[in-house]
Amino acid sequence: MTTPCHFDSAQLTFAGSPIEQARCLLRTVKRAGNVDEARANLPPVLSSLLANPPALGVTKAQVRSSLQKQGIAESKVGGSVTDRICHANSDDPSAPLARYFVIHDTSFKLEAGQDFDPHFINTAAWSGNKLSGLPDGKTHIYITPLGETLTDRTYGTPWRATQFEKPSTRFRGLFLHHELVQPRMGPGNHDFESPDPGFTPVQYARLALQYVIAGVRRGAWMVPVFHCVLDLGIGDHDDPQHFDLAAWDAALQTALAKVRAEQPEPAVVAVAMGMAAPSAEGIATRARRTKPRTGGRANASKKAKPRKKAAAAAKRPSAKTSVQKTSAKKKSAKKNSAAKSRKTKAAPKKRSRKAVQKRARKRGKKEDKKGIKKSKTRT
């Protein structure tokens, strides 16, 4: 049997440098969950990022600006990019921030008579591409072959989605989970046949964007992990199948170039020139200040909700009414002095963030049975 990667439970880390960890945790996953013993050869972009993880070379403000230009709501990519990600030990502030970026595939078995024809599986004709049909409480982010994403749980929410994490709540929050939707086939109850290529270019592009967002929110690049390798010896999952590391690396290069093309902040230029580095909190504060008053604010204030609730809210006419109410409140606030106006806006924002964290903690406690339980859909 293939040797699992050595994990130091006390320190909540795998053995070796980030590059050595990734070379072990990204070993090729073959058919039916057979993993290569040989370490993976990391492609160039990933190698360079993991050689010095704290050297992000990109800011939250740049990510936010890039997302706005692409018309991608932050609520669809794990929550506000200025929020931190979760800590391990069920979001214990004294535990390390999430370190590992887990890559899965969500196996949806095709119906009788269906096959891997790209004109079918990579279009809206295949039901697996419907965001509304994806299971709740399985992961942080879903990414479909159409390049659409869904926040199942925000990056601020500690969530377990593997057998590896099951033994201890200390592991809850150490991993961020990404489900690449993939159709499967197989005889009887089996579903080990997967398409080749396993994923679409837009799926790799969006996974790359998630990696950039997660790293920037963490303040350092995360170590990528394949689910099957993480669960070696303890699980029966085989995902991801036909994952092309080189294709993801090329997508990472494109995603980084796109984000870095956004106007850097003066402080970032100062760091590049060898001056004092700003604190993470400082960056977050500036990012909030530079936020445009319209458009971006609406995106940033949206908190990801469990999908069913979000969908229900969208259908309810009252959802629109509440936006109108907020708008009316703002207009009313404008009539007051500028100072008073700022206070009026800041107060509800603080309450809202605390409320969101409280809800996240509550959800975390309920998570296990639901998140780890086996189901027809293998994640």
Point out which residues bind Zn ion (CB under 5 A): 104, 227, 237, 239, 379
Tell me which H or E stretch contains 34. Answer: strand 34-35
Residue type, 272: A
Q: Which is nearer to Zn ion, 184 or 227 (CB)?
A: 227
**Separation of alpha carbons 363 and 358, rounded Å:** 9
Q: Which is nearer to Zn ion, 227 or 291 (CB)?
A: 227
Q: Which is nearer to Zn ion, 239 or 249 (CB)?
A: 239
Q: Which is nearer to Zn ion, 48 or 163 (CB)?
A: 163
The answer for residues whose C-beta is within 8 angstroms of residue 28's C-beta and 6 or more apart is 35, 36, 40
Query: Smallest gap, in angstroms, from Cβ of residue 64 to Zn ion?
Result: 29
Q: How many CB atoms lie within 10 A of CB 185?
A: 18
Nearest residue (beta carbon) to Zn ion: 104
**Separation of alpha carbons 192 and 326, rounded Å:** 50
Name which of 67, 84, 65, 86 is nearest 75 in CA terms.
Answer: 67
Q: Which is nearer to Zn ion, 165 or 239 (CB)?
A: 239
Query: Smallest gap, in angstroms, from Cβ of residue 51 to Zn ion?
Result: 28
State the Rg of the chain over Cα.
Answer: 21
Q: How many CB atoms lie within 10 A of CB 103?
A: 28
Q: Among all chains, which residue has been given the structure tokens 């197989």?
A: 186
Q: Which is nearer to Zn ion, 84 or 177 (CB)?
A: 177
Query: Smallest gap, in angstroms, from Cβ of residue 351 to Zn ion?
Result: 36
Query: Smallest gap, in angstroms, from Cβ of residue 203 to Zn ion?
Result: 15
Query: Smallest gap, in angstroms, from Cβ of residue 100 to Zn ion?
Result: 13
Query: Smallest gap, in angstroms, from Cβ of residue 238 to Zn ion?
Result: 9
Name which of 367, 360, 346, 239 is nearest 303 in CA terms.
Answer: 360
